[in-house]
Structure 1
Amino acid sequence: MDKFKLFTLVLSLTLVAACGKVDSTPKPLTEKQSAVLMKELSGKVAGTPVSCISDFSATNTIRVSDNILLYRVSGRLVYQNKLRSACSGLARDDDIMVSEQFGSQKCKGDIIRLVDQTSGMTGGVCSLGDFVPYRSEKTTDKSRFLR
C-alpha cells in the first residue's frame, strides 16, 4: 500500500475516533421547562401519535427544551414533538428555526436548522419525531347551562 494512502487511512480513522460517540440522550427538563410543558398540556389528554400535521394549523411553535417542541393549533389542541435527537441550542430561543419540509405539512423526519440571527451561521440541526396530539376533553357539565 502506498505510504500516502496509508497515512490518509490512519489520519481518517484517528479523526473518527477523536470525535467519539455523540450523546443523544435528552437532558432532564429544568424546572422552568417543566412548567412550560405542564402549562401547555394541562387538562389535555394524549392521543395517538401521527406522522404529519398541517403546516397551516400549527403556526404557534413553543420551544420547551433542546428535544421537545410544541405546536399549538388552538386552546384545545397542542401537538408535542420529541425530536429524534437533541438539537443543541433550541431551548435558548435565540436562533431562527428554519424547517426543511416538502409540501404543506410538517412530518416526521423533516429537518430543522437553527440559524444565528446576527451571523447567519447554522447551529444545531435536528429531525422531527412523531406528533402526539393533546386535546382538551369535552365537558358535558350541564349545570353551567342551568345558571
Structure 2
Amino acid sequence: MKLRVPTLTMIGALCALATLSASQAEVAPTPAASQKLAKALEGRTAGQPVNCIQNIRGQAKMRVIDDWTILFRDQSTIYVQKPRSECVGIEDGKYALVTRKFGSGEICSGDINQLVDVGTGFQAGHCTFGEFVPYRRIK
C-alpha cells in the first residue's frame, strides 16, 4: 500500500496535535507552584471562564506561578491563565512574555504571545493563551 505525501503530512499533523493536547493534561504542577497558587487564591472562589480580560495600558498586573500558570489581577479579581502550550522559561525569568495587541485593550484566549530572551532580546518561542478563570473574594 502506497501512501501519498498529503496523506503522510496529515497523519503527522494529527500525531503532533495529539501529542500537544496530551502533554498539557499530563503536566502536574510542582508542590511549590501548587502552594504559591493556593496562597494567591486563598479566600476566593472560581467563576465561569471568560475568553478575554481588560488590559488597558497594562492595568492587569501579571504574576507568574510556573511555566503553565499565570495570574492576572484586575482590581479585586484574579484571573488564572493556563496557557494551551507551555510558556517555557518564564518561571525562572529567563524569558519575558510579550503580547502585541493593536486597537484592543484586551488579552484573549487564543492570543499567541512571544517569549523573548531577557538577555539578548531574541525571540525564543511562543505560547498560546487559553480561557481566563476569574477568582473573586467570598462574601
TM-score calculated relative to the size of structure 2: 0.76
Change (3 A) 1:41 1:58: farther
> 1:90 offset after TM fit, Å?
2.4
Change (3 A) 1:49 1:65: same
Query: Structure 1: which 5+ runs fail to align?
Result: 1-8, 139-147
In our comparison, the structure showing a higher alpha carbon Rg is 1
Structure 1 distance, partners of 2:87, 2:115, is 8
Q: Is the 1:64–1:91 Cα contact (8 Å) retained in structure 2?
A: yes
Aligned length: 123
Q: Which aligned runs of 4 or more in structure 1 are off by greater than 2 angstroms? A: 20-24, 56-59
Q: Equivalent pairs: percent with the same residue?
A: 34
Q: Secondary structure of 2:91's partner? A: helix
> 1:58 offset after TM fit, Å?
4.7
2:105 alignment counterpart: 104
Q: Is the 1:90–1:124 Cα contact (8 Å) retained in structure 2?
A: no
- Which of 118-127 and 42-51 deviates more? 118-127
1:143 alignment counterpart: none
- Which of 113-122 and 52-61 deviates more? 52-61
Change (3 A) 1:95 1:122: same
1:82 alignment counterpart: 82
Structure 2 distance, partners of 1:58, 1:51, is 17
TM-score calculated relative to the size of structure 1: 0.72
1:71 alignment counterpart: 72
* 1:11-38 Cα distance to aligned partner (Å, 9 max, x none): xx8xxx7xx8474313211121111100
Structure 1 distance, partners of 2:100, 2:68, is 17
Q: Is the 1:101–1:111 Cα contact (8 Å) retained in structure 2?
A: no
> 1:68 offset after TM fit, Å?
1.4
RMSD: 2.4
Q: Is the 2:90–2:96 Cα contact (8 Å) retained in structure 1?
A: no
Structure 1 distance, partners of 2:82, 2:51, is 12
Q: Secondary structure of 2:87's partner? A: coil
* 1:97-130 Cα distance to aligned partner (Å, 9 max, x none): 1013341100111111111122111113011110
Matched, 1:123 2:124: yes
Aligned residue type for 1:82: K
Q: How does 1:43-62 map to 2 (within 5 A)?
A: 43-56=43-56, 58-62=59-63
Structure 1 distance, partners of 2:119, 2:64, is 20
Change (3 A) 1:93 1:118: closer
Q: Secondary structure of 1:90's partner? A: coil
